[in-house]
Structure 1
Amino acid sequence: MRLLCVSVLVALSALLTTPARAAQAPAPEPVCKVGEKRLGELSGLVSDGDRWYAINDGGTKIEIFVLGKDCALQRVISNQADPYDVEDLARDADGTLWLADTGDNRKQRDTVALHAVTPQGKGTLYRLTYPDGQHDTEALLLDRSGTPYLITKNVLGSAEIYRPTGKLASPGPTVLEKVGSVALKSTDTQGGPVGGIGSVLVTGAASTADGKVVALRTYTDAYLFSAPDGDVAAALKREPVRVPLPGEKQGEAIAFEPDGTLLSASEGVGESIRAVRGAAGLVAPAENSSDSSGSPGQSADGQSGDSGVPMVPALGIAVVVAGGLLWGFGKLRRRR
C-alpha cells in the first residue's frame, strides 16, 4: 500500500508541475555559512543593512540571533516570553522586531500571536484570532504603516491572507479578517523536504525597505510582487516574478537588503545564507502586471493568466497530499 501511495504521489506530482518560466535573475550566491549550533532551525531573517537578525522555528523563549554579514554571531536578543511555534520575522521602521508565533500544523490553537521585541529585548505580546477556524501560518509581512499580514501555509489550496480588523491590543486577542488569497503554480525547482508539493507551500515572506516590493517564498522559489503604494493586499493579487532558489534542504527564511538584494536561508547548521543580487529590480511596475482588483495581467516573464495551481481534479490533489503525508510530510514537526 505504501509503495502504491508513493507511486501515485510521484505521478500526480508530475501532473501538478507545470513550471512558469522564471525571471532572468542571477543564481543565488552563497554569502556565508551559519555555523551557530543554536540556530539550527533558521526560519525567519531580516536585515538592517549592517547586520542580520535571525530566529529559529519554534523555541521555548524569545531568541533573536544578531549575525554579521559573515554569519558570525554578534549577540542574542532574548526575552523570557514562552512562544508556541515561532515561524517568521519582520522589522518595522523604528527597528522593532516582530516574531510571528503562528505555526499550527495540527490546527489546534485557539489564538496565534505576534511578539514585538525591541533591540534591547523588551517584548509586547499581541494575541490574534482567525474568523474562520485554525490555520498554519509561516509567513509575516508588515506594510508601511506597520500593519501585519499573515499568509497561511495550505497544502490543499491557495494561501490565505489575513490582517487585523483594527488596532492591535495587548494581550488581546484582536480579530483578523481575510483580505485575499494567493495561489502559486507548482514548479520543477529542486529542493525542500516534501518533493514537488513543497513548491506551492508558503514558508516565509519579506518586503523591501521602501515597501514597494513584497515577496513570498516556498521551499523552492521566491515570488516578488509589485507594491508601489505599499498596499500588501493589492500587491499579492498581482502577477509575481518568480526567482528560483534551488538546492535548499528546508528553505523557510527570506529577506531583502536595503539595496534590493534578496537573501534566502534554510534550516540546518552549516547551511548557507544566499543572495540574489538586484532581485527587487526585476519587478515590473504594477500597471504592467495587474490592477488592484486582482485581474490577471502580463507577468514579468512574459506569461499571462492567473497565478493559480493548474487545473487537476480535486481528488488527485487529495491523493498527492495523502501520499506526501505517508512519505515524510509528517516529519515537519512542531514541538508542542
Structure 2
Amino acid sequence: MRALIDRSHSRARARRLTVVAVLCGAVVAAAPVPATAEETAPAAAAPTVRCSITDPRLAELSGLVVVGEQMLALNDGGDQVTVHGLDGGCAVVDVQTTPVDPFDPEDLAVGPHGAVWIADTGDNNGERSTVALHVLRPGGGSALYRLTYPDGAHDAEALLMAPDGTPYLVTKEVLGSSGVYRPAGPLVDGGTVGTERVGTVNVTLTGTPGGPVGRAGQLMITGGAVAGDGSAIALRTYTDAYVWSLAGSDVPGALAGEPVRVALPESPQGEAISFTEDGGGLVVASEGLPSDVTVVPLPASAAAPTATPSGEPAPAFADLVESQASPIAAALLAAVIATVVVGVGGLLRRRS
C-alpha cells in the first residue's frame, strides 16, 4: 500500500513541477532579473565526468557523499530507507537499509564517528506534521529522530551536518528565500523534537540553464554538503552551487556571509551535491538515467580551507556501508508566484 502511495506522490510531484514550470516561468520571464549579491566565482578548470550511474535503483538520485574513491548515494522514494554504496565507476557495490518506511528522503550526510544521516524531509504539498532524520551507524544499529517546524510545514531537500554533529535543514522555496532550521533540543530516538529557525539563505536568478522548472529552478535549493575537513559549506539549486567558508561548527554564521557562486553543468533535475575528498571541488549529479557524476573544480577563493580540521580520522568506506529586482517588482512577483503555487497545490491535492 505504501508503495502505491509513494508512486502517487511521485506522479503528483511531476505534475506539480510541470505546471509550476509553465506558470512560474512566464511570471519570472516577465520580471526584471535582480542583481546577484554573492560573489561569482572566477573561471576554474573545466568540469569532468567521473562516472555515470545507470543502476535503476538510483533513477531518482537525490543525495550523494564522496568517501575516498567511493560514494554513498540516496534515491528519492521507496518503501525503505536505503543507502547505496558506489565504487569509483558508479557501480552499486553495497546496499544498506532500515525497516522504516520513509515519506520522502531527500539528502544524506556523514556525521561524527562515521554515522550516515538521511533527511526524510521532502514535503511537496506542505502536508507533513513531522519530518524525520534516519541514522545508520557503522557496525550496525540505527536511529529515527522526528522533528517539527515552529512555523508550519516546509519542503526541505538540503541537509548540512555541522562538524559538531548538529544537523541543519534548508528549505526549498520557489521564491528563493530559504529557511535554515536546527533541532531546538537534544534529539530523541523514536521521539519528536521541535526545531528553531536560525537563518535565511537568499538566492536570486542567475541565468544558468538547467532543471525541470525553467528559470524558477535557479531559486530552489535542492541539496547541501559540508567539506570533510569542516572548512566549507555548499548548497545547490537545480542550476548553481553556492559555497561559504565555515569556521568551527557555526553554520548559521557562515550562511550569513557572502557565498561564492559556481555555475553547474546543465542537467535535467540536479539535486545531489558533495565536496570532493580534498575539498577542492564539488561532485554533482542529477535524477534520471544515465546520470553523470561530475566533478566541478572550485576556484581558490572558494576552496581554500579557513578552519583547522578536527583531527578525527575520516571513516573508511567499508565502515560506512558495513551491514546494518525593485521592491515593488519583487513584491508583485512574490505575490503572483505564491498565488500560482497555492492554487496549483490545491488543484493537485483535489485530484489526488
The normalised TM-score by structure 2 is 0.80
Q: How far 1:79 sits from its partner (Å)?
A: 1.7
Query: 1:262·1:279 contact (CA, 8 Å) conserved in 2?
Result: no
Give yes or no for contact 1:126–1:170 (8 Å, CA) kept in 2: yes
CA distance in 1, matches of 2:275, 2:245: 14
Find the counterpart in structure 2 of residue 253 from structure 1: 272
Structure 1 residue aligned with 2:186: 167
User: Which AA in structure 1 matches 2:331?
Assistant: A
State the 1:166 CA deviation.
Answer: 1.5
Aligned residues: 308
Work out whether residues 161 and 226 of structure 2, in 8 Å CA contact, stay in contact via their aligned partners in 1: yes
| Corresponding residue of 1:296 | none
Deviations 1:172-198 (A, max 9, x none): 201100101010121111100011111
What are the residue-to-residue correspondences of 1:5-24 with 2, within 5 Å?
8-9=26-27, 11-12=29-30, 15-16=32-33, 18=35, 22-24=40-42
Taking a change above 3 Å as real, the CA distance of residues 237 and 68 of structure 1, as seen in their structure-2 partners, is: same
Name which of structure 1's ranges 59-68 and 275-284 shifts more when overlaid on structure 2.
Answer: 275-284
Q: Which of 118, 141, 161 pairs up with 1:122?
A: 141
The answer for the alignment partner of 2:285 in structure 1 is 265
Query: 1:194 aligned to 2:210?
Result: no
How far residue 27 of structure 1 moved from its aligned partner, in angstroms, is 3.2
| Displacement over 6 Å in runs of 4+ | 323-327
Q: 3-state SS of the aligned residue for 1:166?
A: coil
The 2-side partners of 1:171 and 1:270 are apart by 37
1:94 aligned counterpart, secondary structure: helix
Instruction: Summarize the Cα distance change of 1:310–1:159 in structure 2 as closer, same or farther, 3 Å threshold.
Output: farther
Structure 1 match to 2:128: 109
Residue of structure 2 aligned with 1:319, choices 323, 336, 341: 336
* CA distance in structure 2 between the partners assigned to 1:105 and 1:171 by the alignment: 24
Whether the aligned pair in 2 keeps the contact of 1:17 and 1:188 (CA below 8 Å) is no
CA 1:6/1:137 → structure 2, altered by over 3 Å: closer, same or farther? closer
Residues 160 and 178 of structure 1 are in contact (CA less than 8 Å); yes or no, is this contact kept in structure 2?
yes
Does structure 1 residue 60 correspond to structure 2 residue 72? no
Q: Distance in 1 between matches of 2:238 and 2:69?
A: 27
Deviation at 1:221, TM superposition (A): 0.4
2:84–2:94 contact (8 Å) kept in structure 1 = yes
Aligned ranges for residues 322-333 of structure 1 at < 5 Å? none
Alpha carbons of 1:7 and 1:219: their partners in 2 closer, same or farther (altered >3 Å)? closer
Over the aligned positions, Cα root-mean-square deviation in angstroms equals 2.9
TM-score, length basis structure 1: 0.83
Letter of the 1:114 partner, please give it: L
**Does residue 69 of the first structure (1) align with residue 88 of the second (2)?**
yes
Partners of 1:143 and 1:51 lie apart in 2 by 22
2:294 corresponding residue in structure 1? 274
Query: Any conservation in 2 of the 1:8–1:319 contact (CA below 8 Å)?
Result: no
